[in-house]
Amino acid sequence: MSKPICLSSAVMVFCAFFWTNCIAQATRGDSSSQQNAFNNAVTLYNGALDVQVPIYSGPEYYFYDPHIKGNAYYQDINGFSKGSVYYDGTMYNNISLLYDVNTDQLVGLFPNRISKFIVQKARVNTFDYLGNHFINIDKDTLAANTVLESGYYRQLYAGKSEVLAKYTKSMQSTTSTSNLVEYYFTGKTYFYIKKNNAFHSVGSKGSVLDLFKDRKADLKKFIKANNIDFRDNPEESMVKVIT
């Protein structure tokens, strides 16, 4: 038996023992106690296996040319931060993550802190990064009249009228005075609100009010009374109004 398989088997036996004891302790508690016990066992198992864990199976990722102005990443943060990924039905916590908005790829860092990999999007359900919750949407599973494309969306509000934000970046080029081609990233954010089981594109206070015409007068009063400014903080404004 090879060393990785031996390690895997040993860890699984240990985790099974750990899980059995946790369940015994949580029997008198509620289901949340049992779930916490299970999550602890999974975390222990994943930590012991290191790179053998399924989430580390994606292709290698490479950084962009440093001469490109700006960067391709969410909130312009080009360093890794700890986050969590719900991957193939399992939650992986404390994963070092980076979100490439240009390619719409979630990037992870191997435990060796050197190699980078692309988290396989088809196997990602959700991920939490920099205090924000993202969902992976497959447009084929949505209503036929949706305006959404497949990809990662930040879930701003998860109520009846769900609010999503889509962050994009693209590489542009320009010619300098010395006739050299310079490349730079430019970004844009799109907002979507769910109504009557379909998503609608919104980009301003006016478009939000038009979407809820039956409550337009009430919403106007609410916006004015709370000094809500869509231009300064569109994400927060959308959530306040829709909530």
Q: Are residues 44 and 64 in the same domain?
A: no
Q: How far is 128 from 86, CA to CA, in rounded Å?
A: 9
68, 39: one domain: no
Same domain, residue pair 135 and 156:
yes
Distances (CA, A) of 133 to 45, 95, 216: 25, 15, 29
CA atoms within 13 A on the CB side of 136: 18
Per-residue pLDDT of the chain (243 residues; tens, 9 = 90+): 443 333 344 444 444 544 455 445 545 556 666 666 666 555 555 454 455 689 999 999 999 999 999 999 999 999 999 999 999 999 999 999 999 999 999 999 998 888 999 999 999 999 999 999 999 999 988 877 779 999 999 999 998 899 999 999 999 999 987 889 999 999 999 999 999 888 999 989 999 999 999 999 999 999 999 999 998 889 999 999 999
Q: Are residues 63 and 183 part of one domain? A: yes
- What is the token pair recorded at 229? 């400014």
- Pick from 50, 151, 166, 70: which is nearest to 110 by CA? 50
| Terminal Cα-to-Cα distance of the chain (whole angstroms) | 57
Write out the residue range of the structural domain in which residue 19 sits.
Answer: 3-52
Verify that 150 and 176 share a domain, yes or no: yes
pLDDT at position 236, please? 93
CA separation for the pair 118, 106 (Å, rounded): 6
pLDDT value of residue 31 = 63
What residues form DSSP beta bridges with 132? 129
Residue 90: inside a domain, yes or no? yes
Query: Is there a single domain that holds both residue 79 and residue 188?
Result: yes
Q: What is the pLDDT of residue 19?
A: 47
Which two structure tokens, joined as six digits, stand for 63?
Answer: 């950084």
Whole-model pTM: value is 0.78
Give me the number of domains the chain comprises.
Answer: 2
Q: What pLDDT, on the 0 to 100 scale, is given for residue 74?
A: 98
Do 103 and 169 share a domain, yes or no?
Answer: yes
11 and 128 share one domain: no
Burial 160-194 (b: 16+ CB within 10 A, else e): ebbbbbbbebeeeeeeeeeeeeeeebebeebbbbb
